[in-house]
């Protein structure tokens, strides 16, 4: 059952979020007012703030739609929560800018104000929520708001479960951890209930008959105790599941990725809108790059490379050619493989690095203009056409060649559930500086934990990576 303290902490998030958002918008006004450039519209600070007080309530609605006021948020990582805040705040800011555009009376004195406000409000909300999280963890140490918990199970699994619960930030207080053989009776449960006022019972066993399980379920219902049934099939650990019904039968459905159904539709719509917006800016830049490639290393401007996408379908990735023409690989270039070309340099370390990372940091095959394009990621601009064609997504796992699939091991099937992306978690978490196994883990995490908020967070984190050329080669 939910504790009163949990409900209190959840409810207090609403006014604190609102205050932080308002304070962020007020701070944005003050920062912009202090700059030398005058406002585009003469709007007094009091008038500006009063006009926003009602409009900013819409942010709380958006936060709620992003699940930031649900009890399940207590189980999320801080990173997941912060990514949802960034996504919700971005949508809130966009709606206000659209409202300002169509309003007869402007609500922002300058175009920069909503941008500043987005940054300040997002940071302040994140800091306030993290402070509340730390306060709650402090109270847990003094047994305030903790869940008195009984574990019933068999074998080492119940000990492992206790370690997991003790390490969780939720605040479980284990009052007993007993085997089902010695402790599976209503008398034992009643004694613990009278002594500790149990909040939760975790059951991790499959040896008891249906009648005994029914008794446990009835006991939990009578005493308002939350019953958790832990699957005994270890392969299900770490997977996302949901309950369903088939006639009168209860089912547990294993979900490979949340990116299914409407999630996939929303992601595609976002991809199309974002792609068309970016192409308006990118097309002149792409024309200049094409001319520079012709000047510095005459030959084909574009280079296609065969990768795999969703359901193992072949995909031709479109890029600006960054290698000298004589070192290019593939069908158009004598059908040579990367390894065959690299062996011509007679450098064992070069070959070992490619075998390990599928990339080479100081690649001798790359042209002078190509090195600049790779460092700034401008060589990937033509992939916007792959996105437009529905072959790629803006955010997703890294596009890989077919022989790399074995590096994903047993998780290779999960990788093929969604389309790869222009950017992803591994690109914003170290890019080429992290080892291959870490890239695989980040890709799998993204697939299993996809959300629109996570996509928006990755897109924002991609901007400084591209602008400052971090780890690009």
Burial 356-384 (b: 16+ CB within 10 A, else e): eebebeebebbbebbbbbbbebbbbbbbb
Most confident of the ranges 105-109, 177-181, 435-439, 453-457: 105-109
- CA–CA distance, 400 with 74 (Å, rounded to integer): 35
- CA–CA distance, 320 with 382 (Å, rounded to integer): 7
Most confident of the ranges 72-81, 300-309, 357-366: 300-309
pLDDT one-digit tens code per residue, 7-17: 788 889 999 99
**Residue 306 near residue 335, CB atoms below 8 Å:** no
pLDDT one-digit tens code per residue, 267-294: 899 899 999 989 998 999 999 999 998 8
Whether residue 432 is predicted with pLDDT greater than 70 in this model: the reply is: no
Helices (H), 70-111: 78-102
Per-residue pLDDT, 194: 86
pTM exceeding the 0.75 threshold for the entire prediction: no
pLDDT one-digit tens code per residue, 202-211: 888 766 677 7
Choice among 11-25, 232-246, 300-314 with the minimum mean pLDDT? 232-246
pLDDT one-digit tens code per residue, 110-156: 889 999 999 999 999 999 999 988 888 888 888 787 888 888 887 77
Average pLDDT over the chain, rounded to an integer? 81
Whether residue 90 is predicted with pLDDT greater than 70 in this model: the reply is: yes
More confident residue, 448 or 245: 448
Give the rounded percent of residues in the chain with a pLDDT score beyond 90.
19
Nearest to 338 by CA among 387, 373, 303, 368: 303
Sign of torsion over alpha carbons 90, 93, 99, 100: negative
Angle formed at CA 458 by CA 453 and CA 460, multiple of 5 degrees = 95
Rounded average pLDDT over 260-271: 84
- pLDDT bin (cut points 50, 70, 90) of residue 402 is confident
| HEC letters along 335-378 | CCCHHHHHHCCCCHHHHHHHHHHCCCCCCCCECHHHHHHHHHCH
Rounded average pLDDT over 318-334: 70
Rounded average pLDDT over 161-165: 82
- pLDDT bin (cut points 50, 70, 90) of residue 331 is very low
Residue 241 β-bridge partners = 254
In the DSSP assignment, the letter for residue 327 is G
* Number of Cβ atoms within 10 Å of the Cβ of 277: 10
What domains are there in the chain, each with its CATH number?
4-141 (no CATH), 147-237 (3.40.1010), 262-322+366-467 (no CATH)
- CA–CA distance, 203 with 158 (Å, rounded to integer): 9
Rounded average pLDDT over 423-450: 79
Q: Which residues contact 83 (CB under 8 A, 6 or more apart)?
A: 451, 453, 454, 456, 457, 458
Residue 48, CA atoms < 13 Å, CB-side half-sphere: 23
């Amino acid at each position: 059952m939910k504790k009163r303290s949990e409900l209190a902490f959840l409810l207090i998030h609403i006014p604190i979020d609102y205050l932080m958002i308002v304070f962020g918008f007020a701070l944005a006004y003050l920062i912009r007012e202090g700059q030398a450039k005058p406002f585009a519209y003469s709007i007094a600070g009091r008038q500006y703030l009063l006009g926003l007080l009602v409009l900013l309530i819409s942010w709380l609605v958006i936060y709620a739609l992003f699940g930031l006021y649900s009890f399940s948020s207590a189980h999320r990582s801080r990173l997941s929560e912060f990514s949802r805040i960034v996504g919700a705040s971005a949508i809130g800011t966009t709606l206000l800018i659209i409202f300002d555009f169509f309003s007869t009376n402007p609500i922002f004195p300058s175009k920069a104000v909503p941008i500043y406000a987005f940054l300040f409000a997002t940071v302040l909300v994140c800091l306030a929520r993290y402070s509340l999280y730390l306060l709650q963890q402090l109270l847990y140490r003094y047994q305030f708001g903790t869940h008195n918990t009984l574990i019933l199970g068999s074998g080492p699994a119940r000990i492992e479960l206790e370690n997991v619960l003790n390490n969780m930030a939720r605040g479980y207080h284990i009052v007993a951890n007993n085997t089902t053989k010695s402790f599976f009776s209503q008398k034992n449960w009643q004694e613990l209930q009278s002594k500790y006022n149990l909040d939760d019972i975790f059951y991790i066993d499959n040896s008891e008959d249906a009648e005994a399980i029914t008794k446990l379920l009835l006991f939990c219902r009578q005493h308002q105790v939350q019953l958790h049934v832990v699957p005994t099939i270890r392969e299900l650990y770490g997977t996302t599941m949901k309950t369903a019904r088939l006639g009168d039968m209860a089912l547990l459905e294993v979900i490979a990725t949340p990116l299914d159904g409407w999630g996939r539709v929303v992601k595609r719509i976002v991809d199309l809108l974002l792609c068309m917006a970016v192409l308006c800016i990118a097309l002149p830049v792409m024309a200049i790059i094409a001319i520079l490639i012709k000047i510095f290393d005459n030959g084909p401007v574009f280079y296609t490379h065969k990768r795999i996408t969703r359901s193992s379908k072949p995909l031709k990735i479109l890029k600006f050619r960054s290698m000298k023409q004589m070192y290019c690989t593939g069908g158009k270039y004598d059908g040579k493989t990367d390894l065959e070309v690299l062996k011509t340099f007679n450098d064992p370390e070069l070959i070992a690095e490619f075998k390990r990372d599928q990339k080479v940091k100081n690649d001798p095959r790359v042209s002078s203009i190509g090195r600049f394009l790779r460092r700034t990621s401008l060589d990937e601009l033509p992939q916007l056409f792959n996105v437009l064609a529905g072959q790629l997504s803006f955010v997703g796992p890294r596009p890989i060649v077919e022989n790399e699939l074995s590096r994903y091991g047993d998780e290779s099937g999960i990788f093929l559930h969604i389309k790869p992306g222009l950017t992803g978690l591994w690109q914003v978490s170290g890019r080429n500086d992290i080892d291959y196994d870490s890239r695989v883990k980040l890709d799998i995490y993204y697939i299993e934990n996809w959300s629109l908020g996570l996509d928006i967070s990755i897109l924002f984190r991609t901007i400084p990576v591209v602008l400052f050329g971090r780890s690009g080669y």
